[in-house]
Structure 1
Amino acid sequence: MKTKVSFKRILMPVTLSPLPKMTHQTMQSIKVISLSYKTADVAVRGQLQFSEEEVQSFLSSFQAHEDVKSLVLLSTCNRTELYFESETTTAKDMIEQMLTFKGVWISGHLLKIIESTHESAQYIMEVATGLHSMVLGDKQIIQQVKSAYLQSQSMGLVSGVFERLFQQVFRAFKRTSNETAFLRGSQSTSYLAVEHTRRLVGKQAKVLLLGAGEIAKDVVKYLVSQGFENVVIANRTIEKAQTLAKLKESYCYLPFSEIPQYFSDFEVIISSIGVKDLIQDYFFTKAHFPKVLIDLAVPASISLSDSIRQAVQLINIDTLVEKIQVNKAESQAAVSDVQTIIGQELAQFMKWHDSLPINQFLASLKQHYKSTIQEKLQQYHQELPEGVIDSIVASLLKTPAVSLKSMNLPESVSSVQQLNNIYHF
């Protein structure tokens, strides 16, 4: 019996330097750090690619942090982005944390940085709807954003502000899907990989798919829909490969340890596993070997010498879009409609966000009034039903609440700051 090869990365403990503590009361702001295909090639992006285990480890180091209230880490083939909410922690601080964790150095000009709440919220909505995807309107990105958000939420790294923000983000995507033609003409890189395979070798080709994650699932979906019958799936966790192979009766799975043995049986290799140099020259020792290799992974998982490269067609995710011309007319025509929807959802979020100081002050004032009434009642040995006290407090709050909310926003926020100083809230 052959020993199964494990490709699980061993994570060494990393000590992150402390971030600055809060020194004064300021408004929380939402910030973005992005390294994407727009500024960095696949090799550079691979340096800042986070595995599932690394995402978990990085996020966990912020669970007890005083200033970083929310933190979402999105790491895909095309982008690694950090969305966070803080008062005093800057994007520069967080970049240092990311680079220290990964043990790499990346030139600052390759990183997109946004440090205003309005621009950050708009950017996150644009990413989630596919406006910034390599393939315009890529439908896969919304699931990746949702997964990143839910992971942070499960770890207690999503505040009320981020919860409200991502509600608007997901609503913007849903409206984009239902109200525009933007997503009808769009395809994912997984679709392009399968379409390219079909055009080069036909759907009768024997395909080896490496990986069983989200990208692999997307690939299998298109392999099935386009009529590919001879597909074998290999994954480091064999149970995941088995589960994916069950999607079509003729599909099979293969242990990782047996890939070299059966490698020459395939005409096409599609890799979605971000294990660097997973496929190398020694796989090509037999006269017959796969002639089409598509590398959807970051970091690149297929590393070949020039002599082997001349004998095969090797395509990575950066060149894939250039090799296949996709009709984007519908998506391009609907971009303005998507931007209108995002503008509307962004306006709703910012109206809610900008009113937070007023609502927080009124909540503090409510508690102050309630505590004062209860204290005086105890002092004079009197009692009132809880509902009566709440009614009195509501009457006392009515005038200041109406006055503050009738002002224009900058004026009301300025008044709240003064009132907070007066009441020492």
Structure 2
Amino acid sequence: MPLITVGVNHKTAPVSIRERISFAPEKMVEALNSLVSEADAKEAVIVSTCNRTELYCAVEDGVQEEQIIRWLGQYHQIEPAELGQFCYTHHGDEGVRHVMRVASGLDSLILGEPQILGQVKSAYAVSQEGQCIGAELQGLFQQTFSVAKKVRTDTSIGENPVSIAFAAVSLAQRIFADVKRSTALLIGAGQTIELVARHLKEAGIKRIIVANRTLERAQILASELGAEAILLGDISDYLPQADIVISSTASQLPIIGKGMIERATSKRRHKPMLLVDIAVPRDIEPEVQDVEDAYLYTVDDLHSVIEENVRSRQEAAQAAEQIIEEGIGEYKRKQESRKVADLIVSYRAQADAIKQAELERAVKGLEAGQSPEQVLNKLAHGLMNKLIHSPTQYLRQAGADADQEALQAAADVLGITDTKES
């Protein structure tokens, strides 16, 4: 059964398009059923994230990618002609390669990011729930998950941070052996601080305090993360409680000075304090680095780490690509093996049907008073004629065509030994 992949991602479409064709989680099963029933997809999995929407479909011969694109446009009320200019499509091995690269983080906005594997697994589980997946896509996605796991365990593609927010949190985790017992003071409430807060939350940090110029904005972020919200003017009261301070505001003047940190470290009885200033212009005076037990890092420090880590991930990506190619080969071998298994099952079922028919004929013969010897002879003769009918026809045609290779292949399959003497 052919595989067709249709997708839109951060490389092919702006967010204004991506958000229009995203699928709400609560409507995903409904969408899958619609795709299967209206676009001639026999099986389907839909992956929908902020950076991509992809439809993986197993279809009957003759179904074209345009049918899938048309369905996607109609479902989201976008003209297929408009949508088509942002779409990419893959078939066969390219489709297999694509889903493996996606799940391994090789096609992500941030190379090697780990969240996408969980998102693909979730999409697969939803398709199972909606009974929109069968043997074709089951085999594909199980092999994909195996490859993605191998990429994670056998390469360092996901080990080194490549975003400012992630790098800041990773730095904190290196300095504080048990970040789960730490308190973080985050200054600002923009996108970078929000990402920092989410990374800290995922790391299991004990307490987060969010400080902002307007309390309302700080409270919005704090409420989402179970944190505390304070005003910038209250920072000096909370600094002694903070093991980690990460600041990113749009202030034109420093918010934290050397004297403020000296007082805070004194109250902390010189327990170490990590300060990460990722603002431009700076939020923390450079002189803070002279304070004993205060460790100050700037955005430039993090950038140098990130550049090195990007290079490391790119090297790991080359090894990951090789793992994916091996995974494609393994998937194809399994597919061929499954086809042979299906052929064997069909062959045995055909032989069993012949056997049953001849047995029924034999029983009727016995019931009609025929002698057992006569019935057995007819049974053996009938079985032989029916079982050798197709091979005999094949041999005759191969002989008429003077096809020596076909004749030899048939002889090998049928176990025929040439007894002619030379």
Matched, 1:108 2:108: no
User: What is the alpha-carbon distance in structure 1 between the residues aligned to residue 341 and residue 196 of structure 2?
Assistant: 44
Q: 2:34 aligns with which of 52, 61, 66?
A: 61
Instruction: State the partner residue of 1:93.
Output: 67
TM-score by length of 2: 0.57
Contact 2:187/2:248, CA 8 A, preserved across alignment = no
How large is the Cα RMSD of the aligned pairs?
Answer: 4.7
For residue 128 of structure 2, what is the aligned residue in structure 1? 153
TM-aligned CA distance change 1:379 to 1:231, over 3 Å: farther
How far has the Cα of 1:224 moved from its partner?
5.6
Asked if 2 retains the 8 angstrom alpha-carbon contact of 1:191 and 1:219, the reply is no
- Give 1:22-421 correspondences, 5 Å limit: 28-62=1-35, 67-87=40-60, 88-105=62-79, 106-114=82-90, 116-186=91-161, 191=166, 203-205=184-186, 220-223=198-201, 225=203, 229-230=207-208, 263-266=216-219, 325=306, 327-381=309-363
Aligned amino acid, residue 112 of structure 1:
Y
Alignment gaps of 5+ in structure 1: 1-27, 197-201, 211-215, 233-260, 273-289, 294-321, 384-391, 401-410, 416-425
- Aligned-pair CA distance for 1:107: 3.9
CA deviations over 1:129-176 (Å, ceiling 9, x no partner)? 000000000100000000000110121111112111111101111111
Amino acid at match of 1:72: V
The Cα of 1:72 is off from its aligned counterpart by: 0.5
Tell me by how many angstroms 1:124 deviates: 0.3
Give distance in 2, aligned partners of 1:74 and 1:376. Answer: 53
The number of aligned residues is 289
Task: Pick closer, same or farther for the CA change 1:230–1:178 going to 2, 3 Å.
Answer: closer
Q: C-alpha separation between the residues in 2 aligned to 1:361 and 1:337?
A: 37
Residues 363/42 of structure 1: CA separation in 2 closer, same or farther (3 Å cut): same
Contact 1:207 1:231 in 2 (8 A): no
Structure 1 position 358, deviation (Å): 3.8
Q: Amino acid of the residue matched to residue 369 of structure 1?
A: A
Secondary structure of the residue aligned to 1:110 is coil
Matching residue's letter, 2:49: T
Q: For each residue in 1:7-61, what CA deviation from the matched residue of structure 2 results, as whole angstroms up to 9, or x when unmatched?
A: xxxxxxxxxxxxxxxxxxxxx1111111111111222211111111232221122
Question: What one-letter code is carried by the residue in structure 1 that aligns with 2:76?
Answer: K
* Residue segments in structure 2 that go unaligned for 5+ positions in a row: 172-182, 226-246, 251-302, 367-382, 392-404, 410-422
**TM-score (structure 1 length as normaliser):** 0.56
Deviation at 1:104, TM superposition (A): 2.0
Offset from partner CA, 1:314-367 (integer Å, 9 cap, x none): xxxxxxxx9x95521221111121111111111011122245544333322211
Distance of 1:377 and 1:190 partners within structure 2 = 75
State the percentage of identical aligned residues: 24
Between the aligned partners of 1:155 and 1:218, the Cα distance in structure 2 is 36
Higher helix share: 2
One-letter amino acid of the structure 2 residue matched with residue 31 of structure 1: I
Amino acid in structure 2 at the alignment position of 1:230: I
> In 2, Cα distance between the equivalents of 1:110 and 1:189?
30
Structure of larger gyration radius:
2
Kept in 2: contact 1:206–1:230 (CA 8 A): no
Alignment-mate amino acid for residue 83 of structure 1? Y
Distance 1:80 1:264, change over 3 A: closer
Matched position secondary structure for 1:47 = coil
Distance (whole Å) between structure 1 residues aligned to residue 357 and residue 189 of structure 2: 74
CA distance in 2, matches of 1:329, 1:228: 33
The amino acid across from 2:89 in the alignment is I
